[in-house]
Amino acid sequence: MLGYDDTELLIEKINQWYGYDFSGYARASLRRRIEGFFLKNKFSSYSSMELSLAQDPACFTRFVEEITVNVTEMFRDPGFYRALREKILPVLATYPFIRIWHAGCSTGEEVYSMAILLSEASLLHKSILYATDVNQAVLEKARTGIFAGASMQQYSENYMLSGGQKDFSSYYTANYNSAKFAPWLGERIIFSSHNLVADSSFNEFQLILCRNVLIYFDKQLQVKVLQLFDKSLDSLGFLALGSKESIRFSGIADRYRQVDPKEKIWRKSR
C-alpha cells in the first residue's frame, strides 16, 4: 500500500491540481481504494500513478469514480424501509409538497426504493426526490433506471420484508441480464452532481437520507456534513443515516430526537 506520508502528499497534490479535497476521508478505506486503483490500472509504480493523475484529467476522473464506494442495493435493511413506511411517510403525507434529498445516491437503487414507497402511499405525485452524488459515472447509470437482473430476487425479498405487498416484478421490465424500472417511477427524481465535501446547501427538505456515506469520512468531516444536513432540513424534518452511523458528537444531536428505537432516523425538533 501507498505509505501514510505519501498518501498525505498525494492528497495535497490532488487538491492543488484539481481543487478536490480528500483530506477528510477516513484513511483506512481511502488507502485501500487507492491501492485498488493502482492495481486495477496496472501502474508500474506509485510515481507513475502520480504522474498520470497529474497529467491526465481523464485518469483523475477514473480515480474519483474508483475511490468512492458505489455498492448499494434496493431496500437495503428492510426494517429501515418498514420504519419509513409506517412512521415517516404518514407524517410527510400531511404536507402539501414533499422534498427529499438522497445524498450520495450512487447508482440510484435506494432512490428508486423510495419512489416505490411514495407511490404505494399515493405520495409520489406531490414529491420531488433530489438524488446527488459526487461521481458523474454513477449518476449516468442511475438516470437509466436499469439495474442488474441477478439482484432482483434479493431485492424482491427485501421489498417484502419492508412491508411491500405488491408483486415486485410489476415495477420493472426484465430484459436479458437487466431490469428496467418503469419510467413513471423516475419522473419525480432529479439526479445531479453534488460534493458533500465542498458544496453547500441547495434547498430545504422534509427528509434527508444519507446512508453509509459518512462512514468514508473522518469525524471532523462527518460533523461538517451533518451540519450541512441540519441547515438543509425543515424545522421538523427527518434525517436518516446508515445502521451503524450516528449524530453523536456532531453538535447537532441536542436538536434531534430518534424516531425509532432501532432505525437510525431522527427528527429535528427546532
Partner 1 sequence: MAEVALTNARLIIIGGSSGSLEALLQMLPLLKTSFPLPVVLVLHRGTLADNSLTELLASRTTLQVKEADDKDLLEPGCIYIAPPDYHVLLEQDGSLSLDVSEKINFSRPSIDVSFISAAEVYGDGLIAVLLSGANADGALGMLMVAQKGGFVLVQDPATAAVAYMPEKAIQQSPVDRVLEPIAIAALLNKVRKRNR
Question: Which residues here bind partner 1, judged by CB under 8 A?
Answer: 1, 4, 26-29, 31-33, 69, 71, 76-79, 212, 214-216, 219, 222, 242-246, 262
Question: Strands across the sheet with 146-148, in order?
Answer: 146-148, 178-181, 172-175
Cβ nearer to partner 1, comparing 76 with 188: 76
Whether 256 and 267 have beta carbons less than 8 Å apart is answered as yes
- Three-state secondary-structure class, residue 189: strand
Minimum CB distance to partner 1 smaller for 76 or for 268: 76
- CA 30 remoteness from chain centre: 17
Q: How far is the CB of 77 from partner 1 (least distance, A)?
A: 7
Nearer to partner 1 (CB atom), residue 201 or residue 258: 258
- Nearest to partner 1 of 63, 205 (CB atom): 63
Closer to partner 1 by CB, 31 or 188: give it. Answer: 31
Which C-beta is closer to partner 1: that of 33 or that of 267? 33
How far, in Å, CA of 251 to CA of 99, rounded?
Answer: 25
Q: Which is nearer to partner 1, 127 or 135 (CB)?
A: 135
Position of cell 437487466? 178
**What is the Cα–Cα distance from 191 to 140, expressed in whole angstroms?**
9
Q: Which CB sits closer to partner 1, 69 or 121?
A: 69
Q: Where are the beta strands (DSSP E) in 170-264?
A: 172-175, 178-181, 189-193, 205-210, 233-241, 256-258
CB of 227 to partner 1, least distance (A): 17
Alpha helices in 19-165 (DSSP H): 27-40, 46-55, 57-67, 78-83, 89-92, 109-120, 136-144, 152-161
CA angle 257, 95, 191 (to 5 degrees): 85
β-pairing, 178-181 vs 172-175, is antiparallel
Q: How far is the CB of 241 from partner 1 (least distance, A)?
A: 9
Q: At what angle do helices 57-67 and 46-55 cross, to 10 degrees?
A: 120
Residues 73 and 249: their CA atoms lie apart, in Å, by: 29
